[in-house]
């Protein structure tokens, strides 16, 4: 059990080293994570599907290749045998893909997303598919049609969204790595509230082929992990040009792992964005953010202040552009080609009425809200005032970034204005929910890359705070360089990773008998939830 505990708490980089040295087998590593999922996912609900057989088969294949030695063993990818979880917005052959929606319940994709193909080529066992807000629309994972994910730090709180499942899986040591998607913050904000690392690469830097589209000009797939280096390792696997995605950048991928290993920020100019801290940000978030600035300064970075005056329009413009694109992208769910078909209760059985009944039953409230809002913003008479204006704001935001990056190499802000809130707290107030993404949205609007890493725990509630780094388009390497330095400075202060302070999730609560029997342990896990 202690050995397993060590395996699940290891970083992907450490696991890769142990696998290469044959200190541990890929089957052991994969099984340890599957056991952890069985033990805690009843409480956390990070997974919608667990891919036990295929994951173990891939692990066994890696072990066989290593045991045989020779060129095939030499050619194995560094992450071969390191397991990973995949957000259920990304299509996979052999497992269901639901996008967190009733409309796709039980659907199996006939093809793999490019990023999944790359995981398979690297022989990384896929542990399963993680929970999300329906079609990635939300900031709390409460809009999943299959029930919310719980934050491993406090099971009564949200794990962020939309990629709460991927972030919680990594935070709860159910997987060392996961894939997420980020349209307005869906990788970075869950990273912030779960004390994990998440990266939104430059737009076009990672292929989106096989990611079910929400807003095509904003969506980006990226890595989720517990360390900055692990995100760099995963980014290196999934990044680079893909002819199947017409928005994929032709540029060769930078050496991101090397960037994460540079180890100094001396002389770098780091810009604080005036508009993205202060009023509206929780005190504990602000305090931890200021500490990170001090640490970077002590390491020789120059801290400068920059102003991005048009960021105040970013949230509003985002809530016009994103629903407009989503309403168009989701028109394909018509009850004919895939997914659910619901027949109207009475009257003529025409395609139009079948579509209306199917979409009424298949989509949840938030999806309907965004489709209607998008249809409105695109409709004749309103197009110029709404969609057209929002696209102009996008230009202004890009100009703000250009001006800021003339003064700074990297920008810094809190990732989210607050720590994790209680499940249900903002569910009936869409606008309050949307405000969670105020600091992450500008990056998507401009296509620039962003990284969130843990900045510590807020004094008032003991919950994780995220620090966000932003770099110019195509300069993702800078995020890894600064992120790795800040992470090591913070961990030196804490005396270890932040997640060492998270609840174990398996310790019996005081007064309950010892749970030595694993079968009994499973039963408890599946009935857990009250924390």
**Which residues 104-133 are close enough to bind other proteins by CB under 8 A?**
107-111
Which residue among 38, 78, 293, 376 contacts other proteins (CB under 8 A)?
376
Q: Does 388 bind other proteins (CB under 8 A)?
A: yes
End-to-end CA distance of the chain: 23
Q: Does 480 bind other proteins (CB under 8 A)?
A: no
User: What is the crossing angle of helices 476-494 and 283-298, to 10°?
Assistant: 100
User: Is 87 assigned a catalytic role?
Assistant: yes
Distance between CA 306 and CA 136 in Å, rounded?
Answer: 31
Q: Does 405 bind other proteins (CB under 8 A)?
A: no
Q: Of 82 and 371, which CB lies nearer to other proteins in the complex structure?
A: 371
Cβ pair 493, 487 in contact under 8 A: no
Distance between CA 294 and CA 328 in Å, rounded?
Answer: 46
Identify residues 340-359 at the interface with other proteins (CB under 8 A).
340-341, 344, 348-357, 359
Distance between CA 387 and CA 320 in Å, rounded?
Answer: 6
Question: Which of helix, strand or coil describes residue 148?
Answer: coil
Please report how close the Cβ of residue 366 comes to other proteins at its closest, in angstroms.
10
b (16+ CB within 10 A) / e for 120-153? bebbbbbbbbbbbbbbbbbbbbbbbbbebbbbbb
Identify residues 211-240 at the interface with other proteins (CB under 8 A).
217-218
- CA torsion sign for 281, 285, 287, 292 is negative
Q: Does 447 bind other proteins (CB under 8 A)?
A: yes
Q: Of 307 and 521, which CB lies nearer to other proteins in the complex structure?
A: 307
Region of 32-40, 70-78, 407-415, 443-451 interacting with other proteins (CB under 8 A) = 443-451
Place of tokens 């994709």: 109
Residues with Cβ within 8 Å of residue 165, at least 6 apart in sequence: 45, 46, 47, 48, 85, 87, 88, 130, 131, 132, 141, 144, 149, 159
- Which of these is catalytic: 43, 87, 102, 129? 87
Identify residues 51-110 at the interface with other proteins (CB under 8 A).
107-110
Residues with Cβ within 8 Å of residue 295, at least 6 apart in sequence: 486, 489, 490, 493
Which residue among 372, 406, 492, 520 contacts other proteins (CB under 8 A)?
372
Question: Total residues contacting other proteins (rule CB under 8 A)?
Answer: 74
Q: Of 156 and 425, which CB lies nearer to other proteins in the complex structure?
A: 425
Which residue among 21, 68, 431, 516 contacts other proteins (CB under 8 A)?
431
User: Is 186 assigned a catalytic role?
Assistant: yes
Q: What is Dmax (Cα atoms) for the chain?
A: 73
User: Is 162 assigned a catalytic role?
Assistant: yes
Q: Does 241 bind other proteins (CB under 8 A)?
A: no
Region of 36-44, 143-151, 180-188, 438-446 interacting with other proteins (CB under 8 A) = 438-446
Catalytic annotation, residues: 87, 162, 186
């Amino acid at each position: 059990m202690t050995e397993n505990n060590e395996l699940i708490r290891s970083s992907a980089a450490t696991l890769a080293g142990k696998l290469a040295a044959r200190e541990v087998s890929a089957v052991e590593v994969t099984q340890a994570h599957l056991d952890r999922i069985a033990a805690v996912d009843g409480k956390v609900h990070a997974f919608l599907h667990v891919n036990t057989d295929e994951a173990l088969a891939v692990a066994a294949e890696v072990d066989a290749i290593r045991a045989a030695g020779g060129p095939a063993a030499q050619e194995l990818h560094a992450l071969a045998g390191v397991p990973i979880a995949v957000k259920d917005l990304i299509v996979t052959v052999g497992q269901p893909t639901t996008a967190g929606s009733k409309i796709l319940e039980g659907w199996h994709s006939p093809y793999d997303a490019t990023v999944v193909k790359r995981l398979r080529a690297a022989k990384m066992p896929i542990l399963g598919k993680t929970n999300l807000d329906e079609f990635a629309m939300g900031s709390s994972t409460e809009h999943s049609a299959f029930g919310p994910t719980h934050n491993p730090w406090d099971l009564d709180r949200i794990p962020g969204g939309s990629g709460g499942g991927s972030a919680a899986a990594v935070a709860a040591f159910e997987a060392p790595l996961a894939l997420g998607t980020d349209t307005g913050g869906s990788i970075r904000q869950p990273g912030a509230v779960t004390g994990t690392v998440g990266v939104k690469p430059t737009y076009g830097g990672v292929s989106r082929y096989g990611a079910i589209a929400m807003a095509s000009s904003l969506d980006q797939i990226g890595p989720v992990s517990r360390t900055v280096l692990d995100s760099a390792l995963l980014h290196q696997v999934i990044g680079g040009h893909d002819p199947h995605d017409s928005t994929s950048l032709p540029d060769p991928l930078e050496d991101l792992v090397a960037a994460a290993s540079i180890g100094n920020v001396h002389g770098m100019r780091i810009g604080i964005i005036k508009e993205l801290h202060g009023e509206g940000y929780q005190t504990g978030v602000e305090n931890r953010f200021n500490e990170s600035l001090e640490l970077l300064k002590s390491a020789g970075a120059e801290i400068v202040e920059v102003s991005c005056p048009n960021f105040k329009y970013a949230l509003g413009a985002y809530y016009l552009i994103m629903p407009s694109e989503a309403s168009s992208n989701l028109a394909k769910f018509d009850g004919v080609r895939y997914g659910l078909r619901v027949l109207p209760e009475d009257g003529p059985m025409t395609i139009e009425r079948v579509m209306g009944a199917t979409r009424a039953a298949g989509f949840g409230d938030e999806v309907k809200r965004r489709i209607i809002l998008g249809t409105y913003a695109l409709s004749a008479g309103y197009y110029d005032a709404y969609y057209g204006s929002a696209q102009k704001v996008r230009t202004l935001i890009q100009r703000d970034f250009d001006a800021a990056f003339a003064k700074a190499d990297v920008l810094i802000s809190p990732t989210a204005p607050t720590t994790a809130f209680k499940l249900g707290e903002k569910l009936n107030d869409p606008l309050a929910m949307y405000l969670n993404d105020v600091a992450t949205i500008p990056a998507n609007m401009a296509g620039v890359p962003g990284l969130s890493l843990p900045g510590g725990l807020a004094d008032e509630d003991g919950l994780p705070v995220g620090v966000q780094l932003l770099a110019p388009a195509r300069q993702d390497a800078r995020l890894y360089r600064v992120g790795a330095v800040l992470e090591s400075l913070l961990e030196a202060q804490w005396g270890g990773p932040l997640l060492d302070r998270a609840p174990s999730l398996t310790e019996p609560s005081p007064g309950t008998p010892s749970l030595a029997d694993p079968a009994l342990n499973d039963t408890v896990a599946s009935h857990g939830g009250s924390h």
